[in-house]
Amino acid sequence: MLPFLVAAAALLASQSVAITTHCPSTYVPDLPLDQTALSVPTGDAVAYVAIARGTQNYTCDGSTWQSTGAVASLYDISCLDSSAYPSLATSALAVNIAALRHRSRRHASHHVFDTLPRKAKRSASPSPAPHVYSSVGTVLSDIGSGTHGASYLGSLTYVDVEGVLTLKFDFTETVGGEAYALVERVAGLNSPDDASADIKWVEFSVEEGALAKTVFQVDTQSGQAPSSCSDSGSILTVAYSAVYVFYA
């Protein structure tokens, strides 16, 4: 084979590996010891751990904000020290809020409600090692730019499935094949950090797709709407971040 063809083949092979492989993980979500709502599956391996940059979306019905779903980009943190996950979620929320504030200045009719953590989260864990921190920096750079950088895995959206608004995780762009999951909520748990501001921690079962069998939403940051509203039909976007754990 000609040298340039050998080099091209090697390049394609390396790109394929970069896209289709991930770090094996033994991470177990740090659930409160006194809770019984969420149950980590035994015998299933962690396929991916991802950090979300996104929004929880609401419409006012005249008195309360009603959820209309969520949209997020997910970034691969499977290879990072798990002690970095909670603080990474806080950082992801901060860069997310900055981006939303910039967008809201261009869309005056669209309400943006954002909250930064009012107290230290449970992330009083040791700082990651220097070689891990450089990877954290890569993830935060991707989150901040909003582009499909090296750590981008896929999307979180809500789709209509036979008239039912259904949560979908989609990694087909980067992983390929049937790497998506339509999920159903199994159980939820109030955030142990700030239940008044953070969306719930949730366990989902996968109803369709080959991405995973079970998905957990943990280490949530913000996302909840205010308790009331009066302008019927108005739209609210609330910045949020969370860690998603995919068991296959």
Looking from the CA of 22 toward its CB, the CA atoms found within 13 Å total 23
pLDDT band for position 94 (cuts 50, 70, 90): confident
Q: What percent of the chain has pLDDT over 70?
A: 75
Res 21: pLDDT? 41
Res 84: pLDDT? 82
Top pLDDT among 227 and 181 is at 181
Residue 107 pLDDT greater than 80, yes or no: no
pTM metric for this prediction: 0.80
